[in-house]
Structure 1
Amino acid sequence: MAGESLIPVVVGVGDIKNESRRFEDAVEPAYLMIDAIYKAISDTGLSPDTSKKLQSSIDSLDVVATWTWPYSDLPTLLSNKLNIQPRHKLYSHHAGNAPAKLFDDAARRLSQGKSQIAVVTGGEALASLNAFARAGESPPSNWTKPARNVSEVFQPKGSGKEENVGTIHSVGLPLHVYPLYENGLRAYRKQSLRENMKESAKLYAEFSKVAEKNPLSWNFGKPAETEQSLSTITGKNRMICYPYPLLMNAFNTVNLAAACILTTTQTARQLGISEDKWVYPLGGAGTQDSNNFWERPNFYSSPSISRSLDAALSSSGLSKDQVHLFDFYSCFPIVPKLAAIHLGFPSDGSKPLTLLGGLTSFGGAGNNYSMHAITEMVRQLRKYTGTSRHGLILANGGVLSYQHAICLSSGPRKDGLSYPVKNPLPELVTDVVIPGIDVQAEGEAVIETYTVEFNRDGNPMFAYIIGLLKATGRRFVANHADDATLVELSDPGKEPIGRSGYVTTDVTGGGKNIFSLKLPTKL
């Protein structure tokens, strides 16, 4: 049986939204996080004196890496401002799975007696920073001195400088890779391009309805997007990389922060925190697929998503049918779709899959979106104190790379087991079959998946093709070889996946592969 005194519970949550983009109102991420932590302390319902006691007893501080500002040591900065001396301080890697992973790890330390009061926090001020940049102004002089050039903030995330198969072909950003999976899943399920767009639009329309009613949403109070507005290509909803227009891409230009306070049932009772504030972490799990998207088994499933969901449920002593509330990460529609399909749920939003409204409508919040999912899950589950209600959160990072899922509940585990002593999954998925990769390819081939990037005028600009050589079955990455192929791949009335063509290496173009739907003329 679990030691009753070491059962982890969430006792306080806080969210901060700075809606203003005026220069004089700009608040850097560190201070948004501090405000969120103070709000979480207040949320415990303790008196001012006991709240100070709780604050001074914080011995664990985990911080989600912020996109906005390059701090030299953010956990120490926060600790100094809060006048606390945590034994455990950690600044996460850059990925959207971090909130769930840090939360899971904090609950585990509490259950093992390694901590008594833990704080997990994160935040962004990209809207304020973007306002300065658009006006040609320097970053705020009163913000903490940056550890490096702030201009790096505006470089695309994932734009590594090392040369590899992806960079040779200028492909590898999230806006490229997630569409590769959406197109791959569409073809695998034998959807038409029109059916697929309708499904994505319906899903995100449902998400937008949720965000419209959430006061913490960046789009709170604005009319919800509709299936028609989401699927219609306009100047304000231009196609980015097929099949995703702008409104199906994450919106990260927000000023949002969130924090959670976790402790044990014993400490919560000693402090006098009412049990109607308690929400119970049950378990979690996470793993990752290869960082190299071309080294994955296929483009219609995610082993890391499937395994993280299954292991999180199993480690929490739950089945999917026992879960009442969900928030699946949604930087692009493919992520909640893959999660829903794996669990046997509808992938069009007819079953609620978000508490927040998704990264387009609620706001992307950099790496920290799922921290807001945790705080909202806690608020929702508190409504069912004394009953049995469960929630599941999936946090995704990279280019469908990193996953972490966690389960929370309105009550303690029914099986009497302790919080899982470790992540049940390995760090990396390695037991999957992956086609061999030809860095330089030559021969007849078939398209495995693809996407087309469009310019701001709405014209197709660049095609990215993942293909398989007919002779060997080996995989390659390529760009379009000619305008005719680019036009064909951009036609919303034709399915390119499965079509044949020819790939060759352009030795004059930096060694990249180029693919044409036209077979070479035989002499």
Structure 2
Amino acid sequence: MTTHEETTPVLVGAGQISAREPDTERTPIGLVAEAARAAAADCGVTGVLGQIQSLTCLNILAPSYSDAPSTLARHLGIDPGERFYTPIGGNMGQWLVGYYADRIAAGGLDCILIAGGEALATQMRGKGAGLSGVLDTATGEGPRLLGDDREPTNSAEQRHGLNLPIQIYPLFEQALRRRYGLDPAEHRRMLGEFYARFNAVAVDNPRAWRRDPLSAADIAERSPKNRMVGAPYTKHMNALIAVDQAAALVMMSVAKARRLGIDPERWVYPLAAANGHDHWFVSQRADLSRSPAITACGERLDRRDRSPGPVQLFPQRCTDGARCAGYLRA
């Protein structure tokens, strides 16, 4: 008989790759496979990749693959029963942890792999082997999609040039500035101080792509090397897209980890997760300075983390069209 304790999900391996040296043979899937092998090695025992029942490859911006999860599986020499791909979305890595934790806790799976990466630095240097086209032309039905693949913007937003994060997020920031009661210079100075804390973490992280120390003023003030991208965001406030990086996670049940002989000191218990979204289209939101979905998810986690128990799914409709769901494991 399987007990709740046996099906408790645990993170047992993680791998990160930052490949800075130019390599004309580098591809995104190659980096992702390298991160997956590192995650398996991090488990401290052999044969982990062969135990994977479900594999999800996060969306790769470029180049296109006809079936990235299957290509990754071939690179790793494994044949998992499930292979998923995701839509583009910065939330998907964390969302997948909650999704798989719930399935493992329910007894449906006992070992999974989440992996993703990009080789855009190589591609933008124009030195990648075939990176401008489709790298895998294997025929078939294509990957199974896991997640919401709706268009991020509607036709009215597109007509007004609201297509990308660099055009939409500045609207949120201006709404927040008004809510805080700050003038533009004060707000940009506050952002510089906020981002300087992120920079301090990057400076000490050997896996960070850029580790140059920057002061709050370096980040906030416009200069020839720090142009304004979308007010109030300067270049140093924007994420870098031209990176060659990958990461992967291995999660399994406690019972599986014991059978494989993985040291319990390596186990990380995902205690709680929540996901939600506000009105899908930005132009339909009532207040750009607030997120009812984030508020509702935070409140749900805050309540549930005081009441340990078996994994459950708690659907909840939030205000402003938002929805959220929480997962908890004792």
Q: TM-score, normalised by structure 2?
A: 0.86
| Cross-structure match for 1:120 | 114
SS of residue paired to 1:114: coil
The CA distance in 1 between the partners of 2:201 and 2:76, in whole Å, is 34
| Cross-structure match for 2:42 | 43
Identity of aligned residues (%): 28
4+ long deviations beyond 3 Å: 137-143, 160-163, 312-315, 423-429
SS of residue paired to 1:9: strand
The CA distance in 1 between the partners of 2:115 and 2:302, in whole Å, is 24
| Cross-structure match for 2:172 | 181
| Cross-structure match for 2:18 | 17
The CA distance in 2 between the partners of 1:428 and 1:124, in whole Å, is 36
The CA distance in 2 between the partners of 1:163 and 1:269, in whole Å, is 49
| Corresponding letter in the other structure for 2:59 | A
Is 1:252 equivalent to 2:241 in the alignment? yes
| Corresponding letter in the other structure for 2:205 | N
SS of residue paired to 1:65: coil
- Per the TM alignment, residue 425 of structure 1 is displaced from its structure 2 partner at its CA by 4.2
| Cross-structure match for 1:69 | 63
Does the 8 A contact of 1:28 with 1:143 survive in 2?
A: no
SS of residue paired to 2:115: strand
The CA distance in 2 between the partners of 1:146 and 1:217, in whole Å, is 33
The CA distance in 2 between the partners of 1:161 and 1:89, in whole Å, is 24
Residue in structure 2 matching 1:101, options 70, 75, 95: 95
| Cross-structure match for 1:192 | 183
1:212-269 deviation line (CA, Å, top 9, x unaligned):
110000013x2x1111111111111111221111111111110111111111111111
Name which structure has the greater RCO, CA cutoff 8 Å, separation 6+: 2
Any residues of structure 2 matched to 1:202-217 within 5 Å, and which? 202-217=193-208
- Per the TM alignment, residue 145 of structure 1 is displaced from its structure 2 partner at its CA by 3.2
The CA distance in 2 between the partners of 1:101 and 1:94, in whole Å, is 12
The CA distance in 2 between the partners of 1:86 and 1:206, in whole Å, is 41
| Cross-structure match for 2:269 | 280
Structure 2 CA distance for partners of 1:144 and 1:313, relative to 1, 3 Å = farther
- Per the TM alignment, residue 34 of structure 1 is displaced from its structure 2 partner at its CA by 0.9
| Corresponding letter in the other structure for 1:11 | V
| Corresponding letter in the other structure for 2:118 | E
- Per the TM alignment, residue 431 of structure 1 is displaced from its structure 2 partner at its CA by 6.4
| Corresponding letter in the other structure for 1:273 | I
Is 1:418 equivalent to 2:318 in the alignment? no
Matched residue count: 311
Does the 8 A contact of 1:16 with 1:36 survive in 2?
A: yes
The CA distance in 1 between the partners of 2:318 and 2:275, in whole Å, is 8
The CA distance in 2 between the partners of 1:202 and 1:232, in whole Å, is 11
| Cross-structure match for 1:170 | 161
Any residues of structure 2 matched to 1:217-366 within 5 Å, and which? 217-220=208-211, 222=212, 224-315=213-304, 317-318=305-306
| Corresponding letter in the other structure for 1:67 | L
- Per the TM alignment, residue 93 of structure 1 is displaced from its structure 2 partner at its CA by 1.2
The CA distance in 2 between the partners of 1:226 and 1:183, in whole Å, is 23
Unaligned stretches of 5+ in structure 1? 148-157, 319-414, 433-523
SS of residue paired to 1:103: helix
Structure 2 CA distance for partners of 1:76 and 1:166, relative to 1, 3 Å = same
| Corresponding letter in the other structure for 2:200 | K
| Cross-structure match for 2:144 | none
| Cross-structure match for 2:123 | 129
- Per the TM alignment, residue 138 of structure 1 is displaced from its structure 2 partner at its CA by 7.4
Does the 8 A contact of 2:66 with 2:134 survive in 1?
A: no
The CA distance in 2 between the partners of 1:200 and 1:119, in whole Å, is 36
- Per the TM alignment, residue 172 of structure 1 is displaced from its structure 2 partner at its CA by 3.5
The CA distance in 2 between the partners of 1:263 and 1:172, in whole Å, is 38
- Per the TM alignment, residue 206 of structure 1 is displaced from its structure 2 partner at its CA by 1.0
Is 1:7 equivalent to 2:1 in the alignment? no
Unaligned stretches of 5+ in structure 2? 139-148, 324-330
- Per the TM alignment, residue 78 of structure 1 is displaced from its structure 2 partner at its CA by 1.6
The CA distance in 1 between the partners of 2:166 and 2:133, in whole Å, is 34
Which structure: larger Rg?
1
Q: TM-score, normalised by structure 1?
A: 0.56
SS of residue paired to 1:424: strand
SS of residue paired to 1:179: helix
SS of residue paired to 2:258: helix
